[in-house]
Amino acid sequence: MLSAKQAAIGELAGGVAHEVNNPLQIILSRVQLMVVRHGTDERLRDGLALIETNVKRISRIIRALLGFATHNRADAEGQPFAVSTALQQACALTRHQLESKLIEVDVQIEADMPNATGSVGELEQVFINLILNAANAMASGGRLEIAVLLEGESLEVRFSDTGTGIESEHLDRIFEPFFTTHADDGGTGLGLAVSYRIIENHGGSITVDSVPGEGATFIVRLPVAGPDTSSDTEPESPGAEGTMDAQPLDTEPTDADPTPE
């Protein structure tokens, strides 16, 4: 559940992120200018390149943090949409990266799927995060199977990869903001934290199952859009116990402190 404390921290983080971003952009453009002007001095050029890399890294974190801060429940009060639309868009945007890593993708979408309600753009972002994570786990190729199906009153989207899998001691940390095993190649550790928050705000859940060395399966569950789509009422689904809470690995999501250290 999105607690008031988390929402307040999110808002604060968003404010700070916004303020930090402007001076960062100034540093970045000045460094790039210096590279153009003094690029002939090798030591200086190396130093500037190091500054540029690290400023870009901070900038990426800030951007993800901004995304993290702006996803509140209001964003999820959107229109009914087809999950397959968000998925197809996400696949199209990541196709090049997957192809270049020799990853085979198989997408199975059950016929006559009902709609979900919320923000198609946010869902697309979640799917992109999950696809890119799978790609990062399959550095030397592999297979990604994506399935969209109806399970009771929930829409399920499953992403199964044949990558490295997730060490058992990492399993309950991967949804924490800033947890990453890819810090060296630009990972911020915010992809899953943002995704978790988005899915939670859509009344759904995101869980993971993994055998280290064999791959990982992420499952996103979303409630089916109710017949009444007016945003004041939660869609009521007979049989299901109201709104589902996002529960990664049966751990309490509020344990994850969204602030760094």
Footprint on this chain of ligand ATP (rule: CB under 6 A): 129, 133-134, 136-137, 161, 163-166, 170, 174, 179-182, 187-193, 216
Cβ 256 vs Cβ 196: under 8 Å: no
Residue with smallest beta-carbon separation from Mg ion: 191
Tally of CB atoms within 10 A around 138? 21
Q: Tokens 């198989």, residue?
A: 106
Binding site for Mg ion (CB under 5 A): 133, 191
Task: Please provide the distance, in angstroms rounded to a whole number, between the alpha carbons at the two ends of the chain.
Answer: 22
DSSP string, 218-249: EEEEEEBPPS---TTSPPP-TTS-SSPPP-GG
CA–CA separation, 93 and 176 (whole Å): 25
Comparison of 45 and 57: residue with beta carbon closer to Mg ion: 57
Comparison of 191 and 204: residue with beta carbon closer to ligand ATP: 191
Q: From the list ligand ATP, Mg ion, none, which binds 31 (C-beta under 5 to 8 Å, kind-based)?
A: none
Degrees (nearest 5) of the Cα angle 72, 181, 177? 20
Cβ 201 vs Cβ 78: under 8 Å: no
CB of 164 to ligand ATP, least distance (A): 5
Q: From the list Mg ion, ligand ATP, none, which binds 10 (C-beta under 5 to 8 Å, kind-based)?
A: none
Q: From the list ligand ATP, Mg ion, none, which binds 14 (C-beta under 5 to 8 Å, kind-based)?
A: none
Nearest CA among 124, 130, 151, 156 for reference residue 221: 156
CB of 61 to Mg ion, least distance (A): 12
Q: From the list ligand ATP, Mg ion, none, which binds 166 (C-beta under 5 to 8 Å, kind-based)?
A: ligand ATP
Nearest CA among 36, 161, 25, 190 for reference residue 103: 161
Contacts (Cβ under 8 Å, ≥6 apart) of 37? none
Q: From the list Mg ion, ligand ATP, none, which binds 190 (C-beta under 5 to 8 Å, kind-based)?
A: ligand ATP
Comparison of 97 and 243: residue with beta carbon closer to ligand ATP: 97
CB of 236 to ligand ATP, least distance (A): 33
CB of 116 to Mg ion, least distance (A): 22
CB of 207 to ligand ATP, least distance (A): 12
CB of 165 to ligand ATP, least distance (A): 6
